[in-house]
Structure 1
Amino acid sequence: MVRVVAAGHVNWDVTLRVDSLPEPDGEAQLVSQRRSGGGSAANVACALAGFDVDTGLVGSVGDDENGLLARRELEGADVDLRGLRVVADAETSVKYLVVDADGEVMVLGNDGANEAVVPGDVDADYVEAADHLHLTSQRPETAAHLATVASEADATVSFDPGRRLDERDFSDAIALADVLFVNDREALEVLDEQASYAESALSDRVVVVKHGADGATVHTPDCSYDHPGFDVETVDTTGAGDAFAAGFLAVLLDHPDDHERALEFANACGALAAQSEGARTAPTREATESFLDGQF
């Protein structure tokens, strides 16, 4: 049995560091390149496992070499893969992450097999046995089904729908989420462009709004907290949001009402992740706590 199930994309990432992002018809100098596992669900699962939280994964990869490499990396991180579907004769999704000198990221990719999981593929027993379900971008109908299964089993649900929120109807899954992660742009979508969280239809649950380098805000039915983030030298922001979400959840799992502490810990995780190259750079719990101790 796992304590948390993360569900969504499992990718193979190729990170290309360049001196600058070129203008149209321009050229940039390639500084370095590396290959590793990626995908928001897989990133969060690995980060939580690194915090010593028993974590499983629901997602899909192809039966190609990239899928094999992705599975080996996840197994090495102690992520339970009983919920991972390997699709025959399919390509694993590959994302090309172009990172400039300031750590900003441009993503190129193909969907591949990373949305092959449909509601009928979900092992309900696997999800029901967990204490918490964390959803990331995936088929809206699959996200809604997973959220329904978890909610009916009295598990808590979090959702980080990501950059495709404005293209897809995730309303059914959002309606069942106890915790919702969004950035400033996405917040306008889910809050229906209302002036405040209190005026929105989501005022009865926790909404975490990420402000990038400017920290984050957590809204709860009782109060809101702001945290300015941490001033660090950014190398690569890939996966920093996933490290943030994992850090927030790691605190809430043991301290369900300590949203202020969860926000601080999450910001520290995101800051530390952004100091290293690649999507799988979430720090350990010990490293995060040591970083926080050094801030005061």
Structure 2
Amino acid sequence: MGEGRSPAFYWLAGFFGLFVLFLYGPMIVIFILSFQGPTGGLTFPMNGVSLHWFERLWNGGGIVNIHDAFVRSLELGLVVMVLTVVLSLSAGLAFRKKFGGSQLLFFVAVASLIVPSIVTSLGIALEFRLLDDFLKKHGPPWIADNLTTTMGTFTSGLGAHLTWTLPFGLLVMFAIFNRFDNRYEEAARDQGATPGQTLRYVILPIILTSVIGVGFFGFTLSWDEIARSSQAMGEHNTLPMELQALTTTVTTPEIYALGTATTGVSFAVIALALLGITTIRARQARHGSDAGQA
């Protein structure tokens, strides 16, 4: 116990520290430079400290409507979060029993993880262009005469994001149910609970923290997604797409302010998820303690 650490420990600790600096250093630098003064530039040294660039960003700055892009990404992320939770949970429950074609269905569902994101985006865009051509040629006149495109935020864009979030949600749910103790369900059924009551009062309370994690994870994946959105969003861009476009036109710390704002939302979502999970676990532990004393 009294022996000191070997030199290898310090070498590995130093290497790990450099790795963390390499990983998070650029983000920290952008955070700092986003608070430049009104006459500040894109590099150090900083010329004053202010919220000038955040104010200019929110007011539009004549470059991009940050409010509309923010709301668009937020709405899409929330829809993706809900659908990811519902579909992943449903699939996790369904795959607990073997059925014909289950393995094929599983591989099809997770195949998008190994397909390059830009290829997925191009494929979805092509599908919707073919749908546009079909509707314009063979659709009812009230559709064919007024249709511009079926591509949009909540059509092709939503589908593109779900190809990214659903496989992760499925894998997490499969892992959860693989170690789920079925005796809780059996006990509920022995007490006369219906399948719906068993799901609501037994299964969901046990796996609720994991469900919250899947939901917020789906939101953050959607919020930051660029490659799958690039060809499938249609007329309007999401906030990350606007950020990517601005990197070639903006030469002020305004671009850093936008990056800080988008990253801040991701951190806020993570904090909410951790807070919710911690609160639920504390409540479950308290109820368990009360039940034990009773």
TM-score where L is the length of structure 2? 0.22
TM-score where L is the length of structure 1? 0.22
Higher-helix-fraction structure = 2
Higher relative contact order (CA 8 A, sep 6+): 2
Higher-strand-fraction structure = 1
